[in-house]
Amino acid sequence: MRIGPYTLDNNLMLAPMAGVTDRPFRQLCKRMGAGLVVSEMLSSNPKVWNTAKSQARMNHEGEEGIRSVQIAGADPELMAQAAQFNVENGAQIIDINMGCPAKKVNKKLAGSALLQYPSTVESIIKAVVNAVDVPVTLKIRTGWNTDNRNGVEIARIAEQNGIQSLAVHGRTRACMYKGEAEYDTIRRIKAAISIPVIANGDITSPEKAQQVLNCTGADGVMIGRGAQGNPWIFKEILHYLETGENLTPPPLSEQYEILHEHVANVQSFYGEVAGVRIARKHVGWYLSEHDTDRQFRKSFNAIEDASAQLEALNAYFEALQNRETRQISPAA
């Protein structure tokens, strides 16, 4: 699959998620097989670019692969400036956010709120595309609400004004993340335009990825929440698409190694205080199937020391491993 001059390793993408797709997580998902990883969205407001949060989001030091940076805003001129700023900072693809349903984003008429105003959508796309020499991509939802699914109209505007790839989450803004994603609109969008279309929403297994590709005719899939605590999903989907067979899930020892590395990288990236706090949500996602009574996560979330977090994880997985060994050992 190609986006502008870039040929991706495969057609699996990590969705941009605020507070999630930071550098440690992007690097991990890339190593786990994602063909493209997209950074968490950056505001087009230059007043916040020097804040600690924005500086962390702009950090791509040592990253491998194509750097795709998502920007969000409602003013065409500021969006153009943000695109230029991020290209100067190393972005090789600029992605425009018109899919975020969060109230704090929508109240500024950014994110998916823009789907209500096709003329503004066009103005923003034109401004950004004309401002940079790198490919510009777009992420949208199927519409503002179920009575106004205008994804096809927005997709045509995007293609006509230079967008080189379109990702579509299979829900309207009003649906937020409730119910099941609908793929009919994505199929209609794919049929209406010739640029690559990426299907997003509820892709949590290799079988679902194949089903969505078949249903929509999309060129690729974008995985968001399905990768939280499960970064090896990219490797599993890729194997399934290539062979039709399921890859054996990683053993506990490998899951521990991945989690330990991820937490250590988060701590190093953000520093001990913020790193300890941010690591908690990732650990919660990784252990959701193991720690069903949430007792470990409750105690883990009270830990304030980075090394103590790692020691607690080691002890927890040792106990899991011992329990698993006892379960598979033949009775004496």
* Residues annotated as part of the active site: 100
DSSP 201: S
The answer to whether the annotation marks 225 as part of a ligand binding site is yes
Q: Which residue has the tokens 């001990």?
A: 272
The answer to whether the annotation marks 45 as part of a ligand binding site is no
Task: Tell me which amino acid residue 13 is.
Answer: M
> How far apart are the C-alpha atoms of 106 and 110, rounded to whole Å?
5
Beta-carbon contacts of 242 under 8 Å, excluding residues fewer than 6 positions away, are none
The answer to whether the annotation marks 17 as part of a ligand binding site is yes
For residues 262 and 28, the answer to whether their CB atoms sit within 8 Å is yes
The answer to whether the annotation marks 16 as part of a ligand binding site is yes
Continuous segment of H or E residues that includes residue 239: helix 233-243
Number of residues assigned to the chain: 332
The answer to whether the annotation marks 18 as part of a ligand binding site is yes
The answer to whether the annotation marks 201 as part of a ligand binding site is yes
Q: 289: closest CA among 246, 312, 320, 322? A: 320
End-to-end C-alpha distance for the chain, whole angstroms: 55
The answer to whether the annotation marks 202 as part of a ligand binding site is yes
The binding site consists of 16-18, 70, 139, 200-202, 224-225
The binding site for FMN consists of 16-18, 70, 139, 200-202, 224-225
